[in-house]
A and B are shown apart, each in its own frame.
Chain A
């Protein structure tokens, strides 16, 4: 059974409000959610809470939501919840794991008032598509899935230095592209 087929089964079960679908979802995606949460949260209890909240959020969202990509959908929710938790912790000076990540994002991401700036989205997605697949995947794993550099290096059989270089080049190119389009000064 392919992942796509599995995802479709899970979605169908969620639509039927079958709690077994939630268990399947947990089995398939809890590790991914935990991985994402761990990227910005240092407390294991926060990570676990984030995973549970993500699964609950998906349970509540589907239906009516019917995402094409279940993994990306979960990933987004997990990120939001993890960042939210991180923000809460930072406010109380509890956690600073995500600080480095934030400063890196600051380098290339513009301020935007609209959450769904379709032009910006197209620009960034197209730019990433123009990159080679390894760079693209490293970029997404770092800034979307919150993998740390060491994990990425291990995952792709690269040195940490090589990963860092690819990331900095990708960021620079993206910033340049955004500058050209007037998003960055």
Chain B
């Protein structure tokens, strides 16, 4: 019998389960190694510094590249920057998206493959076990356009197996139109991983992310490997999305023995190419298989963690709380009421006493006297009172409106009426805020809009449903005339759109740029009072107008003195044409109407 036959035969003499165990055991141990580390942060810094010193003394050394699946194993380039890539988690963030999973998971795998299993784990690393409504994995996002397919949904209970990972930095310029729009210009980090979800590329700059998925891979005759990532298949928060768009952008990464380079191509009628400069032309890599959990990645990068404790008393079906090592109590809430998810939030409070006085009747009264004090909206009773911002970690439902995860939720009470708003991010764009009032009206605008919805005359709900906002599209789902309706709107700031029976303005231009828009103007019949709400949050009440003024639509322009606003009426109604308003610091305003109503002779 030949030796090679013996070697072949050996595998047939061992049970599958033992082989499988050895395969898995090898993967797990990589993870476990990191968990076992118990270095302090000080030790970490010291080790980092020492290693950095060592690496600095070795200007160039070569390493073996195994790349993404199917790559050759030739020598490639020089080791890039010796700078450690161990970013700390930004305050208040959690790993709640595929972007972050790919970015942080990729870096962690690279560090582990380099043997840098430093003690990034806290002494006790509890696993996050909720934060997303019990780990449901919806097959689809509700109310998405038909041409969008959800291919995968992030779940923090999943394991993330990375087979290979690359890390490098690029310099974004305005010629990289697509990325510059989303991330801005300057140096950005890039993480590419081949993982059990997909082969993904993630760009990160200033806390913003853009990720998409591998479309094609090839090797040229010269041995240069090319990876093509396409925006056809992109990451949107927790979702991996396939979007059949006629206009896509490809990102091409080329790896050869001379290093790494990159460009982008806008695929349209005429392809547009743009170089994306790779800083140093070098990269770092992970060439082992690493299996990670979200909890492990969170702990490694010092993300917030929580320890579950038993539910508090009360009529709440689920409340999860966890301690925060930095003091106080970190509380994660999931409240189900009659089977309906009302909240899935995290918050911070120092005192758990007096918490959760709560009934099924529809009122959540004092939850915590120091922190969460909110009243569930009951149209006949108390209004919402809450000035605490809660970071939403999962979907929640409120007043029949379903909101998605990755939003920031807050309550406020202004002028006797409750206002709820949340923030939703587009693809790397500035956050947009959607405001919703008791009457179900929605309004999209900029941050810190004060009292945008009070005193609206029409309290008839016209929208009850969900809203999903991307950079330029708002998709609403709502019930109208007894039918479920989904409507997608391509919007442009400052321009109106019609939804249901109402016309809305989407305004997120700050006043400082010279323009703004009137959101709504009402009239109190008894008081001859006109309220003008302007999108930057200012609200002006004009008294002593002898005739009531009703403006359904209009716009405002900031005058050159920076204080006066010219209000232009709706040309359709023709109630008036121009009104100059000047606010003063003491709260008073001066107004001057430059053209009269047709029937008005008073001013």
Contacts and interface: CB of A to CB of B under 8 A. Distances in A.
A102 B10 contact: no
A168 interface: no
Contacts of B1: 111-113
A173 interface: no
B22 interface: yes
B29 A156 contact: yes
Given A106-B6, A137-B21, A6 B196 contact: yes
Interface stretch (B65-73, B406-414, B441-449): B65-73
Given A27-B194, A30-B70, A157-B29, A136 B8 contact: no
Contacts of A45: 72
B532 to A, nearest CB: 54
Interface string B69-92: 110111000000000000000000
A72 B11 CA distance: 9
B7 A121 contact: no
A145 interface: yes
B163 A31 contact: yes
Contacts of B176: none
A145 B23 contact: yes
A4 to B, nearest CB: 10
Contacts of A67: 16
Interface string B218-255: 00000000000000000000000000000000000000
Contact of A27 (B4, B8, B22, B163): B163
B73 to A, nearest CB: 4
B9 A115 contact: yes
B68 to A, nearest CB: 9
A98 to B, nearest CB: 7
Interface string B559-596: 00000000000000000000000000000000000000
A136 B4 contact: no
Nearest to B198: A27
A109 B70 contact: no
A28 interface: yes
B10 A109 contact: yes
Contacts of A103: 3
A9 to B, nearest CB: 11
Contact of B3 (A71, A80, A105, A145): A105
Given A27-B194, A45-B72, A137-B26, A76 B20 contact: no
Interface in B274-295: 288-289
Interface string B90-113: 000000000000000000000000
A117 B13 contact: yes
Contacts of A149: none
Contact of B7 (A2, A47, A102, A117): A102
Interface string A131-163: 001001100110111010000001111000000
B270 to A, nearest CB: 31
Interface string A91-117: 000000010011101100101110111
Q: Which of A6, A75, A116, A133 has the most CB of B within 10 A?
A: A75
Contacts of A72: 16-17, 19-20, 23
B33 interface: yes
A60 interface: no
Contacts of B3: 102-103, 105-106
A59 interface: no
Given A116-B12, A117-B13, A145-B23, A83 B4 contact: yes
A53 interface: no
Contact of B22 (A2, A84, A115, A140): A140
A76 B194 contact: no
Contacts of B4: 83, 86-87, 90, 98, 102
Contact of A71 (B8, B12, B23, B115): B23
Contact of B14 (A1, A48, A90, A140): A140
Given A1-B158, A2-B159, A79-B8, A125 B15 contact: yes
A82 to B, nearest CB: 10
B18 interface: yes
Contacts of A51: 69-70
A144 B14 contact: yes
B180 interface: no
Interface of A: 1-3, 6, 26-28, 30-32, 34, 38, 44-45, 47-48, 51, 67-69, 71-73, 75-76, 79-80, 83-84, 86-87, 90, 98, 101-103, 105-106, 109, 111-113, 115-117, 120-121, 124-125, 128-129, 133, 136-137, 140-141, 143-145, 147, 154-157
11 contacts: A6-B196, A48-B72, A71-B23, A76-B11, A111-B1, A111-B6, A112-B1, A121-B13, A136-B22, A140-B18, A140-B22
Interface of B: 1-4, 6-26, 29-30, 33, 66, 69-70, 72-74, 115, 158-159, 161, 163-164, 194, 196, 198-199, 288-289
